[in-house]
Amino acid sequence: MALTGILRPGLIQLRVTDLEKSVEHYVERIGLDEVGRDGDLVYLKGWDEFDHHSVVLRKAETAGMDFFAFKVDSDETLEHYRKRIEDAGVEVIDVAAGDQPGFGPRIAFKIPTGHRIELYAQVERAAYHPPVTNPEIVPREPRGMHASRFDHGLLYGPNVNETKDFFENVLDFSTAEQVDGEDNSTQIAIWLTCSNKAHDIAFVDYPEENKFHHIAFMLENWNEIGQAADIMSRHNISIDVGPTRHGITRGQTIYFFDPSGNRNEVFAGGYQYYPDNPTRNWTPDQLGKGIFYYERKLNDAFLSVVT
C-alpha cells in the first residue's frame, strides 16, 4: 500500500514529576536511547527509529501529555491539512522550526476531546540510527525491554463521535475498530489508523477533557513481552495488567506505570489494516473480552487511572 498524506505517529511529549527517575525508567528499563537534553526537557528515541527523537520528557508539577504529533509526507501536505483544519472551523497554531531540536515547523490544533494534536513534515535523521547499508538486524545490543519505537497512544476525553468525524473527514484516518454505545449510533471507544497498523491512536469517551491513558512501545514478539514482564518484576515496576492479549487489535500486551504515574504499554503483534477493510464493531457487553481477551473483564485501574 502506498502511504501518503499523514504517515504515522512521530512525536509525543510527556510530563513527568521526577526527571531523573523517569529517564532511568525509559532508557534503562524500556530501552529507549537518550539523544539530548535542554534544561527540563529530555529527548528519546527507539533503536529502530530514524528520526532525531520521538519521545520528549518534560519535568512538570503534574504527569500527563502535552501533545501528540504525526509525520506527514511533505511541506505541501502540511499546508493541505492546515487548510482543511481551518475550513473545519478549528484554529491552527504555528510552531516554529527548531522548537524541538531537529524538527522543522509544526502546526498544532485542539481536537474535540481537548487534546493538542500536531502535524509536521520535516525532521532530521538521528545521529545514531539503524544502518541503511548492509544493516544488521539490530544496530546495538538489546537494553531493557528493547522497545523499537513509539507505536501509538490512547487518549481519554469527551466528544468521541466528533473526534472520529474529525479524524476521518479532515485528517483522512480510518476507523479500524470501535465499541458501539447502547443505541449503536454513538461510539464509546475508537481505534484509528493512518497506516496499515491496527491503530495509530485511540480514544475512549470520558467526562474530563485532555486526559492521557497510555503511550505504547513496540516489541518484536510474545517472547519479548515475557522478557519485559521479567524486567518489571525484577525492578518492582508497578503493573496495571498483563501479560495478556487484546481482542481488539489482537495485540499482545502489558500495561505498567512510569515513576510519575503515566501509564506505559509494551505491545507486539496486531493485524494489518487496509483501507478497504470494514470497521470491526464490538458491543458493550463484550468490551471486557475486546480489551483483555484472556481475562474477559476490565479492571478498575484500567478504566479510571489517567493523567
Residues annotated as catalytic (active site), given as ranges: 152, 199, 214, 246, 255, 265
Rounded Cα gap, residues 6 and 136, in angstroms: 29
N residues, the chain: 307
DSSP H/E element including 57: strand 55-59
Instruction: Report the alpha-carbon distance of residue 126 to residue 186 in Å, rounded.
Output: 42
Q: Which of 279, 286, 190, 220 is nearest to 247 (CA)?
A: 286
- Give the pairing of strands 263-269 and 211-218: parallel
Those residues with Cβ within 8 angstroms of residue 221's Cβ, 6 or more apart along the chain or in another chain: 252, 268, 269
Parallel, antiparallel, or unpaired: how do β-strands 251-257 and 263-269 relate?
Answer: antiparallel
Contacts of 285 (CB under 8 A, 6+ apart): none
What counts of helices (H) and strands (E) characterise the chain? 6, 17
